């Protein structure tokens, strides 16, 4: 509220404007039923194109496979994810960590998206995204525990796919050492539902399979 009052009383410096925008983002993530409405309303503002918010803006330029993401670019996908996350956040152990992880989960895609053999790929966007999430949050937050927990969820959000399909990238041991696999499952569920034409029952089964494998590991 303090930052909001200052905005009404006098013109803010660039740094204060950035702090205010972060404050607003945080409020809408935690309080809105559909946070995407706010984020879409600010998508084309000039400040979103400046550091560090450009990391979010660039999501609109990250194309995705039309087979797996018929909703379009990574921004469209992220908006669907945060709306699902807003419905599910009550199940999380920490709603603030969970919602910021939902917003930043694919922040690594703009830097990793390439066309390989005619297909759109974004290999290692989870690893790159974890680093970028820390860079983004450190512009505004001094709580390193919070930053690391958000980044860890970003880092491991692809494990559901890797574990369920028994891919070489599956690493339950390290994941469980670095984060809460149940939180990964909840974020992953929202990630999978954040697409158009999704098979909800199939995705629920995948989450159940992931949880079972994690419990017995």
Residues above pLDDT 90, as percent of the chain: 88
Banded pLDDT at 1 (limits 50, 70, 90)? very low
In angstroms, the CA 98 to CA 91 distance is 10
Q: Is 179's pLDDT higher than 90?
A: yes
Q: Is 8's pLDDT higher than 60?
A: no
Question: Of 89, 66, 102, which is closest to residue 197 (Cα–Cα)?
Answer: 66
Q: Is 6's pLDDT higher than 70?
A: no
- For residue 52, say if its preceding peptide bond is cis, omega within 30 degrees of 0: yes
Looking at residue 102, what DSSP letter applies? H
| pLDDT, mean of residues 129-140 | 98
> Exposed (0-12), middle (13-18) or buried (19+): which is 47, by Cβ within 10 Å?
middle
**Residue 11: predicted pLDDT:** 59
Residue 15's contacts (CB-CB under 8 Å, 6 or more residues apart) are none
Residues above pLDDT 70, as percent of the chain: 94
Beta strands in the chain (DSSP E): 114-116, 119-121
In angstroms, the CA 62 to CA 78 distance is 11
**Residue 14: predicted pLDDT:** 85
**Residue 12: predicted pLDDT:** 67
pTM of the model: 0.94
SS3 readout for 109-138? HHHHCEEECCEEECCCHHHHHHHHHHHHHH
| pLDDT, mean of residues 107-118 | 95
Banded pLDDT at 15 (limits 50, 70, 90)? confident
Average pLDDT, the chain: 93
In angstroms, the CA 180 to CA 40 distance is 30
pLDDT in tens, 18-47: 999 999 999 999 999 999 999 999 999 999
In angstroms, the CA 15 to CA 8 distance is 16
- pLDDT greater at residue 55 or residue 9: 55
Q: Is 10's pLDDT higher than 60?
A: no
pLDDT in tens, 56-111: 999 999 999 888 899 999 999 999 999 999 999 999 999 999 999 999 999 999 99
């Amino acid at each position: 509220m303090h930052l909001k009052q200052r905005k009404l009383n006098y013109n803010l410096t660039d740094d204060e404007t950035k702090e205010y925008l972060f404050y607003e983002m945080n409020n809408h993530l935690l309080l809105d039923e559909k946070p995407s409405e706010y984020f879409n309303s600010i998508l084309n503002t000039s400040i979103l194109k400046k550091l560090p918010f450009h990391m979010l803006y660039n999501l609109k330029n990250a194309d995705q496979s039309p087979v797996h993401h018929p909703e379009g670019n990574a921004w469209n996908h992220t908006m669907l994810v945060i709306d699902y996350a807003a419905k599910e956040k009550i199940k999380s152990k920490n709603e603030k960590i969970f919602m910021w992880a939902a917003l930043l989960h694919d922040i690594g895609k703009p830097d990793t998206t390439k066309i390989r053999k005619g297909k759109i790929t974004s290999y290692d966007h989870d690893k790159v995204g974890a680093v970028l999430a820390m860079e983004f949050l450190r512009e505004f937050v001094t709580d390193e525990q919070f930053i690391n927990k958000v980044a860890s969820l970003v880092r491991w959000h692809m494990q559901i796919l890797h574990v369920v399909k028994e891919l070489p990238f599956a690493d339950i041991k390290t994941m469980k050492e670095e984060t809460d696999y149940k939180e990964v499952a909840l974020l992953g569920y929202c990630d999978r539902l954040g697409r158009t034409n999704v098979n909800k029952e199939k995705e629920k089964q995948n989450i159940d399979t992931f949880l079972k494998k994690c419990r017995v590991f």
